[in-house]
A and B are shown apart, each in its own frame.
Chain A
């Protein structure tokens, strides 16, 4: 199936060269792209759960949250103990996704668990839940299909692992997930086409940038006058342009950097689940060589400049988190505080923002290094 991503999917069934040493449960095809996606999906799941549980504490203790909410809004009728068990199961799967290499396999049971999470979250269904469920549905359906196809052909082969599944289920998984990422950005831009978002007085867009002006003592009104309308229009423009940049090879890495920088302000406000989730889709657009090269860069010893830039960006974001009205209300106003939950929530917030600051600085360095050799080549049209 021809597409602009055809080069990216030229070898979708390539497995890691160490397949013989790293056992891949269920013999599902995969490579570093789905590993990166799975790890970030796991991190997003942890943030989603921690944020939800901390919010639920606002009105009272967690041990009775389902019964408490059932007095005001429709619920599934399950007990709080069942609800907490489901949330804990999601967190455990999120941690396993971070720690273990069998990410495509682990995402399949998460599809079931996360479906249940929606039933035990009576206070709200966040916007990104539909994206998570849709992505998990793609992973589950195609994962099961691949297993069935392998089992079918293994009846003729001596070894299950050597059996060919026929259809490129992993390639279809990548395509399905990429489509969901594109639809997410388009839908998000589409929903913002209303007077409330486009008006300086009521738009939430400048809010996320104003938090960075606060530490420098810039008066709010002055900052708002400067960044207000640009932030409003840039938000919609970036959400429309970003999918295109990710799809086109020449702009892909710059699109990844732009996307991370675009989502950093929301992270700095203390809302981590959606930004981490959507950035997790970015590696899926890359060619395998691009992803492997980027991972090698991320895991290599960083230069002093890269570390410095990551620290500066991270510190700015961390300062914004510590002053975020949303985060402060969660930690201070709650009536049913579970200390372990608060510590975990805080630690995850700060750790994640520094991680993304580091990734952003690495991407920037990667892009600059890619441009530098080209600048020395004579203008013959050959890259």
Chain B
């Protein structure tokens, strides 16, 4: 026979805290696109939300973090980079007649690889955000913040077709299959175009 307790037990309090914590994390993950934070698996499938999450009727885009940015490289000067990494950066600089708009996280990933490709590597970049803001970096290899990236993210790597084509070329994939499969844009069916 169990004696009556005056209130919730320690186990009940722990359980309630766990449920609330997991629930809060879930909610934060779904608000993260609008806060410029990284997120993974928010309920954005078939939602119509833009890649920059700036088209919600009620929630304005608040740039708490810089993770929602998409940038184009307009100029670069590389020193002591290996040839493959130089070609990678050049592929992100231009694809056809367009400049790829690539996620800042993906760009940082490639910059990290480029700067680690050989000792004394140096890379100066001029970036333009999708909002038209210009950013100049004298040497990204000397800026730790430009070399940190997230592995787990649901943010799309690209904001335009030029970037998508560039990514496929980097993966040595034949771009023609993507034209046949019209729904594919970096492997995400979540935002299918009407067909």
Contact = CB atoms under 8 A, between A and B. Distances in A.
Interface of A: 1, 55-56, 58-60, 68-69, 71-76, 118-119, 123-131, 133-134, 137-138, 141-142, 145, 149, 164, 166-167, 169, 172, 175-176, 179-180, 183-184, 187-188, 190-198, 201-207, 271, 274, 325-326, 329, 333, 335
Interface stretch (B46-54, B62-70, B116-124): B46-54
Given A73-B106, A75-B151, A193 B56 contact: yes
Contact of A205 (B2, B46, B49): B46
A interface secondary structure, majority: helix
Contact of A191 (B47, B167, B168, B177): B47
Contacts of B18: 138, 141-142, 172, 176
Given A74-B149, A125-B41, A187-B27, A179 B19 contact: yes
Contacts, number: 209
Interface in B71-111: 88, 105-106, 109
Nearest to A177: B19
B171 to A, nearest CB: 5
A196 B183 CA distance: 17
B interface secondary structure, majority: loop
B99 to A, nearest CB: 17
Q: 3 smallest A-B Cβ distances: which pairs?
A: A167-B11, A197-B48, A130-B41
Given A58-B177, A75-B151, A128-B41, A195 B57 contact: yes
Interface string B23-58: 101110110000000001111111111100001111
Given A191-B49, A193-B57, A271 B189 contact: yes
Given A73-B157, A119-B152, A172-B19, A134 B195 contact: no
Interface residues of B, number: 65
Interface of B: 2, 8-9, 11-12, 14-16, 18-19, 22-23, 25-27, 29-30, 40-50, 55-58, 88, 105-106, 109, 149-154, 157, 167-168, 170-174, 177, 180-184, 186-192, 194-195
Contacts of A56: 187
Contacts of A125: 40-41, 152-154
Contacts of B19: 138, 172, 175-176, 179
A190 B30 contact: yes
A202 B48 contact: yes
A369 to B, nearest CB: 35
